[in-house]
Structures are given as structure tokens and as C-alpha cells.
Amino acid sequence: MSSSTLPPMTNASAAYGEEDLRFIRNFHDIFLSIGLVLFGLGLGFVASLSLVESVSITDFSSLKEAGWQASAVFFGGAIIMWLLAEFFARSRRLFLPAIVILIGFSWYLFLAVSIAYVTMFGEQDFDSFESAIEQLTYMPLIVGSIVTTGVFLYYVRMKLPFAMGLGGVGIVVTATATIFAQNPEGFLGIATTVQFFSGLFLFCLGVAFDARDPSRTTRFSDNAFWLHFFAAPLIFASVMSMTSGGSLDAWSDGGAGAAAMTLGVVIVFAIISLLINRRALLVSGLLSAAVAVAVLIGESGLSGAWTGALTLLLLGGAMVLLGGGWHVVRRVLIAPFPKSGPIARIIPPEPNAEETAENQHAA
């Protein structure tokens, strides 16, 4: 089956802008995914036990041989996962099982490449200890690049949107690990900045895919969903760290002020989510929002039980109101923005009441 004839990962009858979770369709997908998880774990344990029982390490030469054997075994595990993907992902288009298989494939590939790099590294002669350490600093870049390339090849072959999101994560993790390896001492000073720009990079990629599919009906939209899904916690955590110095510690010292600032950040995320019609950005801040609301309510002198109850009531009520009136709020919020052109592809217009009714009737 050629890539041009693969069944699309879309639902033509999906309601406009509802972000349908198209990667899960029925309980059969869940059942099969559980089986694949168990199979992948069992495969790893069998491979590890076989290596332990078959390899005898007596000197440096036998250690190197064991390293190459281990790398080959785990690479074989990655190949098995790929073959499973050919059947379940490419042929049958079962997307939740395909996600499980991709995670297993990435893990086995990571183990295989990491062990191979360390084994190859151990075979070299170095002039000094410093030169050996310098060589190790390239490991995150090389290993991460190979694994990330494997994930993107999986996307190209299987057309799985989750692979695009995971590939984006692979890029930022590889870049972050490489920066850390080059300068471990100074990394803490820039960790928050690196985290923020990593999330921003994924967010911009997601927006780029969204701009190609404003109606949220094709695989491009699904790619964007996963990129936003992974970008949101990175952006939110880094912004929280920059504005309040780390939410929980700041709340214990700063009380209502830090909590109010946190709530303000969540509100900004909500506005951005509404503008680009993506709920994933907002969901990432729910836990912090709950703690912030609890702190603010607690400042009034209420007991812990009342604080918890009112927090759940207010936060849940806000989510219900926003969820129920999502499209109404969006119409008001995006009214000043153009309904066509490049901006409209990033901030898509809401259909009018008649179009919404037709979409719901079609669904």
C-alpha cells in the first residue's frame, strides 16, 4: 500500500474545532495496546536475561564483545517493533497501538545506539582523561540525533501524528542534553531559558501545522495537537519559574502574591488557547491553577476542608463554563481579527450559528 493510498487519520464528520481524539477509536485498540506493552516489556526482559546468561566477562576484550552483543540484541528489538508497526500502524491504521509501538521502538533504538557508542568509545585510545571526557560530551548529540531521526522516519513511513510530536521532543531533548554536556556547571543558570525556548519551538511548529489546516480536519492538525501537547508544560513551567521563582516554593513564602501571579499566567494561557483554538495549552496549567486558587481562598481564613471544597467548585465551574461556552467566548475574543488571510489561518474564525448547527447535524 503506497503512502498516497493510506487511509487518512481524520474524521470527516468531526465537529468544528472540537479537537477529536482520533488516536483511540474503540476498546479493541486499548486491549491490543495493553498486549503490545506486555510484549515489549517481555521482549526487553528476555533480551536482558539472555545476555546475562550467555555473556562471560573476564577481561576488557570480553567486555567490548558483550557491549556489541547487547547493542545488536536491542537493535533487533527495535526491528521487531518496526515490523509490528508495518502491520498495525501502516496496514491496519490502529493508531493507539502504533503509539505504543513507537515508544517501544524509540526505547530499543536508544539502548542500542547508546551501548554501541559507549562500546566504540571504549575501543579508542586517548591522550588524556580530559580528551576522553570531551569525547563523551558528544554522546547526547550523536545518540539523540540518531534516535530522533528514527522517530521521524517512523512518521514518514507510518504517517502517525504522535511521531511528529515525539520527534519534536527528541529535537529539544537532544539540544538540551548537548548544551548540558558541553557546560554542566553553567547549565543551571540557563536551564529555565532553555526550557522556555524549547517549548516555544514546539509551540511554533504546532502553529505552523495549524496554519496549514485551520479547519482542524487533516493529519496536519493532529501533528499540531501533539506538538502543543508537549509544548504546553515546558512553556508553562518555565514561565512560572521566571515569574514566581518556582510555584510551590514561591507560594510557601510569597503567599497570595505569588498565587495571584500564577493565576494570571493561567489566564494568559487560556486566552492564547482560545485564540488558536487549542485546549491543550490550558490543560497544562490546571494543577497550578488549582493550587493558586486554594492559596487565595486560604488567605481568607477558611479551614482546609472549605478551602479544598471551594477550590474544586470554582475551578470545576470555570472549566464547565469555558467548555460549554468555548465557541461563544471565541467569537467575542477573535472578533477584531481578520476572517481570511495568513492571520486567520493561525487564529481561525468561528463558524456562525447556522454552520455550527450543520456541522453538529452532520456529526
Alpha carbons 170 and 144: distance in angstroms, whole number = 7
Cell 511528529 belongs to 164
What whole-number percentage of the chain has pLDDT above 70? Answer: 75
Tell me the pLDDT tens digit for each residue of 165-191: 999 999 999 999 888 888 877 887 888
Chain CA centroid to CA 107, Å: 15
What pTM, to 2 d.p., does this model score? 0.80
pLDDT of residue 9: 46
Task: Specify the pLDDT at position 19.
Answer: 66
Instruction: Please state the rounded mean pLDDT for residues 91-116.
Output: 94
104 close to 85: Cβ distance less than 8 angstroms: no
Q: Give the helix/strand (H/E) hosting 98.
A: helix 95-122
Average pLDDT in the 84-88 region? 95
84: pLDDT strictly greater than 70: yes
Residue 90 lies in a domain: yes
- Model pLDDT, residue 126: 53
Q: Quick check: 258 and 226 in contact, CB under 8 A?
A: no
Query: What is the reported pLDDT for 205?
Result: 94
- pLDDT digit string, tens, across residues 120-129: 876 555 555 5
Of 86-100, 164-178, 235-249, 269-283, minimum mean pLDDT range: 235-249
Chain centre distance of CA 109: 19
- Average confidence (pLDDT) over 295-312: 71
The stretch 73-93 carries a mean pLDDT of 94
Residue 303 domain-assigned (yes or no): no
Whether 73 is covered by a domain: the verdict is yes
- Distance between CA atoms of residues 316 and 267, nearest Å: 15
- Is the CB of residue 100 less than 8 Å from the CB of residue 37? yes
pLDDT, residue 352, reads 65
Of 280, 264, 274, 279, the C-alpha closest to 332 is: 274
Structure confidence at residue 56 (pLDDT): 65
In this predicted structure, what is the pLDDT of residue 18?
Answer: 66
**216: region left, alpha or beta (phi > 0 left; psi from -120 to 50 alpha):** left
Question: Residue 89 pLDDT > 80, yes or no?
Answer: yes
- What is the reported pLDDT for 55? 67
3-class DSSP state for residue 301?
Answer: coil
User: Contact 84/36 with Cβ under 8 angstroms?
Assistant: yes
Using the predicted structure, report yes or no on whether residue 99 has a pLDDT greater than 90.
yes
In what helix (H) or strand (E) does residue 269 lie, and over which residues does it extend?
helix 256-276
Collect all residues with Cβ–Cβ distance below 8 Å to 309 and sequence separation of at least 6: none
Q: Residue 40: which pLDDT band, with cuts at 50, 70 and 90?
A: very high
Average pLDDT of the chain is 80
Within a domain: 9: no
Specify whether the CB–CB gap between 96 and 30 falls below 8 A: yes
For residue 322, is it within any domain?
no
Domains held by the chain: number: 1
Which residue range(s) make up the domain with 163?
23-123+135-182
Whether residue 82 is predicted with pLDDT greater than 80 in this model: the reply is yes
Question: Does residue 248 lie within any of the structural domains?
Answer: no
Mean pLDDT of 311-319: 82
**Contact (Cβ atoms closer than 8 angstroms) between residue 203 and residue 235:** yes
Identify the CA nearest to 84 among candidates 3, 160, 144, 23: 160
Contact 137, 180 (CB under 8 A): no
What is the C-alpha to C-alpha distance for residues 20 and 11, in angstroms, rounded to an integer? 8
Nearby residues of 207 by Cβ (< 8 Å), 6 or more positions away: 224, 276, 346
* Set of cell numbers at residue 95: 493508531
Whether residue 232 is contained in a domain is answered as no
Lowest mean pLDDT among 5-9, 47-51, 324-328, 349-353: 5-9
The most confident of the ranges 74-83, 204-213, 274-283, 305-314 is 74-83
71 in any annotated domain = yes
Q: What is the predicted pLDDT for the residue at 363?
A: 45
Q: Read out DSSP for 146-178? A: HHHHHHHHHHHHH--HHHHHHHHHHHHHHHHHH
